[in-house]
Amino acid sequence: MSRFRRLEFDAQQPAGAKPTETRRVEYWLTQARGAREMGCYQAALRYYTRCLELDPKLHEGWLGQIQSLILADHLGEARTWGRKAIDVLKGGPDLLAALAQAELRLGRGSEAHGLISRAFEQPGESAYRWLVRGELFTVARLDREHSCFERAVALAKDWLLTLEVALALEYHEQYAAAHRYAVRSIQQSSDAPYAWLVRGRIELALGLREDARASLERAIELKPGYADALELLRRTNRSRFIQFLGRLWRGGQ
């Protein structure tokens, strides 16, 4: 809990932001979305915290905070904040799904299944609930995850959701399936550097080194100085990395 108390004071006003904008929940939600699009989950946490400072009962703020903790692999904190969110907001299907995802990754499968069942008992549906159900089926090896993930992608029509399906599959070392969704996320948004980074990382796990190099180089072209992509590319092959840096340098002359 203490880490989140610090987050309330750590979020800095982005350069160039107007003072009136920083007081708007919509502004901070946009910043949080942008951070998630780059895989910057610690920054996303700060922005969601800003939202909750302005509106302590904002569903999107609580849900985004829990999802960002899960994506950052802070699973114990995600479970704590999932329970707190459900208590503050008196439930909610996506909050139940978020807590289910945290419990699943903590190895508490029976608790996760109970929570996702409760989420689907409530009216309506959401892409995120289907994503979490697909992840549960992946872990349980029930051979029904594909239809769940496809339903999530169809509902969202959003490259980031598609990429987060890939991340869930990557987390459980289902690399071939993860690669398919990473490719699809790029088809939806070809200029997203984080999607290219994730694709390259999965290709390395699959042993597709040449494909991985191409993906990581594309990520760096889209975001010059992209530290995570540069480090991963360096590790694939040092000599080729040096050649790539030389091409970048010559191209800037």
State which of 83, 108, 133 marks the end of a domain. Answer: 108
Q: Is residue 115 part of a domain?
A: no
Mean pLDDT of the chain: 89
Q: Is residue 175 part of a domain?
A: no
Amino acid at 28: W
DSSP track, 169-237: HHHTT-HHHHHHHHHHHHHH-TT-HHHHHHHHHHHHHTT-HHHHHHHHHHHHHHSTT-HHHHHHHHHH-
Q: Is 205 exposed, middle or buried (0-12, 13-18, 19+ CB in 10 A)?
A: middle
Q: Is residue 183 part of a domain?
A: no
Structural domain span for residue 206: 190-253
Give the total number of structural domains in the chain.
2
State which of 90, 108, 126 marks the end of a domain. Answer: 108
Task: Say yes or no: 195 and 96 in one domain.
Answer: no
CATH number of the domain at 13, please. 1.25.40.10
Q: Is residue 203 part of a domain?
A: yes
CATH number of the domain at 221, please. 1.25.40
* Residue indicated by tokens 């029930």: 142
State which of 108, 133, 157 marks the end of a domain. Answer: 108
DSSP 111: H
pTM here? 0.85
Region at 160 (left for phi over 0; alpha for psi -120 to 50; beta for the rest): alpha
Give the per-residue pLDDT at 144.
Answer: 82
pLDDT of 216-226, one tens digit each? 999 999 999 99
Q: Is residue 101 part of a domain?
A: yes
pLDDT of 115-130, one tens digit each? 999 999 999 999 999 9
Q: Lowest-pLDDT range, 127-141, 181-195, 232-246?
A: 232-246
Q: Lowest-pLDDT range, 25-29, 79-83, 238-242?
A: 238-242
Asked whether 120 and 133 are in contact (CB, 8 A), the reply is yes
Q: Is residue 177 part of a domain?
A: no
Task: Say yes or no: 102 and 2 in one domain.
Answer: yes
